[in-house]
Amino acid sequence: YDTVLNHHVVTLAEVLHQAGYRTYLTGKWHLGKASDGLPTARGYDHAYSLADAGADNFEQKPIAGLYDKADWTEDGKPATLPTPFYSSTFIV
């Protein structure tokens, strides 16, 4: 286990993308946060995702003090959460 989704693994999104499907992701992505490990680098056309575990449901911060800012990305770039924000409502 590499703690990230390594490049020896093909994602379902990569398979679908190669078959001509459009792929989207929103929500948690605890599979890597380096640029080549984000959803848009792994087959998703568009993605709004959270790379870190333990993020607050109402703000862009951790709940346990593990890091300074919850690492949300939009299409592979740093994202800012909308206001008001509640994670479950936003993801759905």
Residue 7 domain-assigned (yes or no): no
How far are the Cα atoms of 12, 31, 47, 52 from residue 63, in angstroms, in the given order?
31, 20, 23, 11
pTM here? Answer: 0.82
**What does the pLDDT look like over 11-36, one tens digit per residue?**
999 999 999 999 999 999 989 888 99
Write out the residue range of the structural domain in which residue 71 sits. 12-91
pLDDT at 27: 92
**What does the pLDDT look like over 41-88, one tens digit per residue?**
999 999 999 988 888 899 888 887 778 888 899 999 999 889 999 999
Residue 58 domain-assigned (yes or no): yes
Residue 60 domain-assigned (yes or no): yes
Query: If residue 50 lies in a helix (H) or strand (E), which one and from where to where?
Result: strand 46-50
Total number of domains constituting the chain: 1
Residue 3 domain-assigned (yes or no): no
Residue 47 domain-assigned (yes or no): yes
